[in-house]
Amino acid sequence: MIGAMIGDIVGSRFEWSSSKSKDFELFASGVRFTDDTAMTVAVAEGILQSLDTDDEEYVRSCIREQMRLFGNRYPYAGYGGHFIEWLADPEMGAYGSYGNGSAMRVSSAGWLFDDPFTTRRYARLSAEVTHNHPEGLKGAESVAMAIFWARKGKDKAFIREYIETEFGYDLSATCDDIRPDYSFDVSCQGSVPQSIIAFLESDSFEDAVRNAISLGGDTDTMGAMAGSIAEAYYGIPEDIKAAALDIIPEDMREVVRKFEAVKAERAIK
């Protein structure tokens, strides 16, 4: 979860001015948290409120409530147009989006459960409140499952094969293949596989984030997706974690503390 927030914050200053380079200062002047962090926190709080229930509508309602709460608390975080409409209208339901918002906010689902079925179920439910297009669901489930298998100690070859087999993404390209012609793409199908490749090609948490951001495009969201998987695989250096936590407000830090406490209580590995 914190990995997603770090990727978001570091990538925030490159979204409209990507240099296509891995050589940049992580927490330079101008970085900020965006909608990726706000919604990552919101989904985490919603899932924490609805753990281990068979009532799927209750899970969706908890996530929906927290997304609207944090979204309206931080209205200038950079949400898309349809999502802004959804935030403003409590009666508005899911709107068929296949945008990568479903995948950038899902990381808590990848951490809180000890079996793949439940992990995929909560990932799907977290997407369904807004992004109920098949591609939106697939994006959320694929990132959650990459996190799940990474924290379970599976190697990158296993993770690559699982994601390709289960979700149909082509993960055969390299970052060097993608980078020259890649441009801004907020769809799941146009950014999730690229972000997973950024993780697969990395040699550390920081390298995964740098890989994703260096591809260009929707850099905060791609940093969030790659960072969320890399956290589960590598862990996060304490200095990087502390720098990101200093940037987010106290109500978000409180959710992070709660999330980490529940993880420890459930002995999640």
Whether residue 109 has pLDDT greater than 60: yes
**Percent of the chain scoring above 70 in pLDDT:** 99
How does the average pLDDT of the chain come out, rounded?
96
pLDDT at 78 over 70: yes
Per-residue b or e along 225-258, where b marks 16 or more CB atoms closer than 10 Å to that residue's CB = bbbbbbbbbbebeeebbebbbebbeeebeebbee
Residue 20 domain-assigned (yes or no): no
Residue 19 confidence (pLDDT) above 80: no
State the CATH number of the domain containing residue 106.
1.10.4080.10
In a domain, 18, yes or no: no
Confidence band of 52 (pLDDT split at 50, 70, 90): confident
Distances (CA, A) of 234 to 3, 78, 165, 247, 260: 10, 29, 24, 22, 17
Is pLDDT of 201 > 60? Answer: yes
223 found inside a domain: yes
Q: For the chain, what is the domain count?
A: 1
Asked whether residue 196 is assigned to any structural domain, the reply reads yes
Report the pLDDT value the prediction gives residue 267, as an integer from 0 to 100: 65
**Which of 4-18, 69-83, 92-106, 166-180 has the lowest average pLDDT?**
4-18
Which of helix, strand or coil describes residue 239? helix
Q: Give the pLDDT mean for 23-33.
A: 95
Residue 198 lies inside a defined structural domain of this protein? yes
Q: Convert 167-190 to b/e letters by CB count within 10 Å (16 or more is b).
A: bebebeeebeebbeebeebbbbbb
Q: Which pLDDT band, with edges at 50, 70 and 90, does 268 fall under?
A: low
In a domain, 23, yes or no: no
Residue 221 located in a structural domain: yes
Q: How far apart are CA 11 and CA 31, in angstroms?
A: 8
Q: What is the pTM of this model?
A: 0.97
Tell me, yes or no, whether 218 lies in a domain: yes
Taking only the tens place, the pLDDT of each residue in 172-189 is 999 999 999 999 999 999
Containing structural domain, residue 231: 2-12+32-265
- List the structure tokens of 194: 């690229």
Whether 269 shows a pLDDT value over 50: the answer reads no
